Amino acid sequence: MSAFRASIPFAASLVLCLAFAPVSFAQSTQTETISAESAAGGTILKGSLKGEDTASYMITGEVGETLSVDLLASNASLYFNILPEGAQEALFVGSTSGNVADIPLPAAGTYVVQVYLMRNASRRDESATYSLGIGLAGADFADGLAGGPDWWQVSGLTEGALNIRSGPDTRYGAVGKAQNGEVAQNRGCRMTGQTRWCSVRVDGSGVQGWVAGRYLIEAAAPAMAEMPEGGPKGNGVPFDATGEVSCATAAGAAMGSCLFGVVRDGPGNAGVWIALGDGNERAILFEGGVPVSADVAAPLSYTKDGDVFTISVGDERYQFPEALVNGG
């Protein structure tokens, strides 16, 4: 495995990741040393933990090499930290930074990848099985790993669709699919074994995950959705789509039209912002295909007739098709 490019959040600054590792005192610790040969080729390790048990994997590297680690676990409370041997402070804390890490080593020496259950789960004596990918690569990355274009286009599929996976390996499940010609934002690439994987966000649908890099070619940036004057501002993330929805913003008012913008996060998940006039706007959050909350202390309810939502937020009413949330 090799490194993310610098746009991946961790690589922005090692200083931001220096934090104490939130691991409780363990009842037992499993320790394994990863050979230089195994680390260079990329290795997948499998294990299980229960309660306050931990597992530590030791890797020796040189300054400037990149230590790459990714974790797939049966329990969402299982994480890993990375720290120099004998140190009390972690270079990477999984509970705050996620389950994929690419760490440029700050000095030659031995580093520990420590797998653990968070305190809430360990106190309940929960258990977890996991697979842990570990690799170590030099500072000279393969073509397309360091830097690279801002946008990719899916290309080279002879049949079916490209799986978008939750992690950088085929052992991770698919969270979505992309077709030839679809465009995706490049969030950085790395090697898992001999395969290049790239983190992407698909334009339009907002699906985020990892895809095999051999199916990606450089692409121009897609045209951003334009918002007419008087439309909502949103949260600063560019809208995936804009337009008008049916709305009534006061009790007893007839349905009219309001400008909207939507930011999608994969099928069924989106934030919809609706302009109310005078610079005010309403935000409605969708999760799992249904509206779950709004940015106001008022009751939210909805009905669905075919593919059309009718949503009430206090005295306000909004009506729009499901495709607004999912795209297409």
**Which residues touch 200 (CB under 8 Å, ≥6 apart)?**
152, 164, 184, 185, 186, 187, 208, 209, 210, 211, 216
pLDDT tens profile 81-122: 999 999 999 999 999 999 999 999 999 999 999 999 999 999
Q: What was the pLDDT predicted at 147?
A: 64
What single letter denotes the amino acid at residue 288? G
Weakly modelled stretches of the chain, pLDDT under 50: 1-26, 140-144
What DSSP designation does 159 have? S
Tell me how far apart the terminal alpha carbons of the chain are, to the nearest angstrom.
36
- The whole-number pLDDT of residue 139 equals 55
Q: Say what the pLDDT of residue 28 is.
A: 75
pTM, two decimals, is 0.76
State residue 264's pLDDT score.
96
> 25-65, pLDDT tens digit by residue?
446 789 999 998 999 888 999 999 999 999 999 999 999 89
Q: Is the dihedral of CA 169, 175, 176, 182 positive or negative?
A: negative
In tens, the pLDDT along 137-146 reads: 875 443 445 5
Sign of CA dihedral 205, 208, 213, 217: positive
Sequence-ordered list of residues with C-beta below 8 angstroms from that of 257, at least 6 positions apart, any chain: 244, 245, 246, 247
- pLDDT at residue 145, as a whole number: 58
Q: Between β-strands 54-61 and 29-33, what pairing exists: parallel, antiparallel or unpaired? A: parallel
**How far apart are alpha carbons 29 and 31 in whole angstroms?**
6
Query: What gap in Å lies between CA 313 and CA 153, rounded to an integer?
Result: 39
Alpha-carbon span 200 to 188, nearest angstrom: 8
